[in-house]
Amino acid sequence: MRDLRISITDRCNFRCLYCLPETEEAKDFYQSKWDALRNPQPAAARTTPIQYDWKPKAQLLTYEEITRIVRVGLSLGLRKIRLTGGEPLLRRDVPVLVQALTALGGIEDLAITTNGFLFARHGAALRAAGLHRVSFSLDSLDAVNFRKMTGRDGLAEVLAAIEQAQSLGFTAVKVNAVVIRGLNDHELETLAEWAHSRALSLRFIEFMPLDSSRAWQRDLVVPGREIVARLQARFDLVPVDQSQNPAETARRWAFPDGRGEIGVIAPVTEPFCGHCNRLRLTADGRVRTCLFSLEEPDLKPLLRGGATDADLAARLVEIVRGKEAGHRIGQADFVQPARSMSCIGG
């Protein structure tokens, strides 16, 4: 295990259709799909407004506790740290956490994933604190479709944030787009062309069953192979040599002129579980060895009960040794995790 993804809050200021759907647009979209499939379960029963059980502040890990876990993890071989949410920039003083993590030494890659809406307030401070990379979520370049997907009007702010991040000189600026059939799959080529024009790394991600409304359907997944075929029909893409990083989740292609690249992450149709080297730490201190883990060992009793660093290290090793062989999406016995992506940390 070399990669730890840390959710620092379960709250989010967006209501993305594939994570925390609550808008009428989301309800109408899913209902139309259920009707088309003649789903026996009424759509109305599956789109009841959701009461999100946000964790109280006392249950969230403090920055000191997060820093301690990372310090112990570094001694066990962790090298990559990514801060996630929810929306991580909703939490106060994130640059303070970044600075504390940077001071540990030994982190080869320190990154954050954000929806970008609040990035303008924090970008410069994050860079100064030592953040290496930033990834933005951007599923549509059309303002109307952006609102349908995110539940919010914020496209202009996100585009400005991406431009700002590039100007601040981060090691890399990436953009992630979740692709849903019938919603934004018609924008594949447009998004790729935009990424090329901005010299960005763009990642297309298959729609996964991690939404709070349990509305996911396999029929809405655009397979990675289909995405690649469409892009290769439009662009002259050059495969990127990834032999030195077998744990990388995205298959990547570069534009011939060197201005940006395209990646495809296909956990549903082409699982990469066999070489996964990731762990996840939830905002309330639980460890997930897979996005689809059904168990979440809690580190808070150790952190707040006087355990030594050696005790914490031993527990982390024990948890890792129980890592799942793989998720079971598409299998008859698949069970969707109780918590949505916003609570897990992507």
**pLDDT tens-digit profile of 34-86?**
455 445 444 433 444 455 566 788 889 999 999 999 999 999 999 999 999 98
* 288 bridge partner residues: 280
Q: Which residues contact 269 (CB under 8 A, 6 or more apart)?
A: 206, 221, 223, 224, 225
The closest of 97, 112, 80, 187 to 144, measured between CA atoms, is 187
Q: What is the pLDDT of residue 328?
A: 61
User: How far apart are alpha carbons 156 and 160 in whole angstroms?
Assistant: 6
Fold of 3-283+320-344: TIM Barrel (3.20.20)
The model's pTM is 0.87
Q: Would you say 242 and 182 are in contact if contact means Cβ atoms under 8 Å apart? A: no
Mean pLDDT of the region 109-123: 97
Q: What is the pLDDT of residue 291?
A: 76
Higher pLDDT, 318 or 337: 318
What pLDDT is recorded for position 112? 98
Helix segments in 91-187, DSSP class H: 94-104, 119-129, 143-150, 155-168
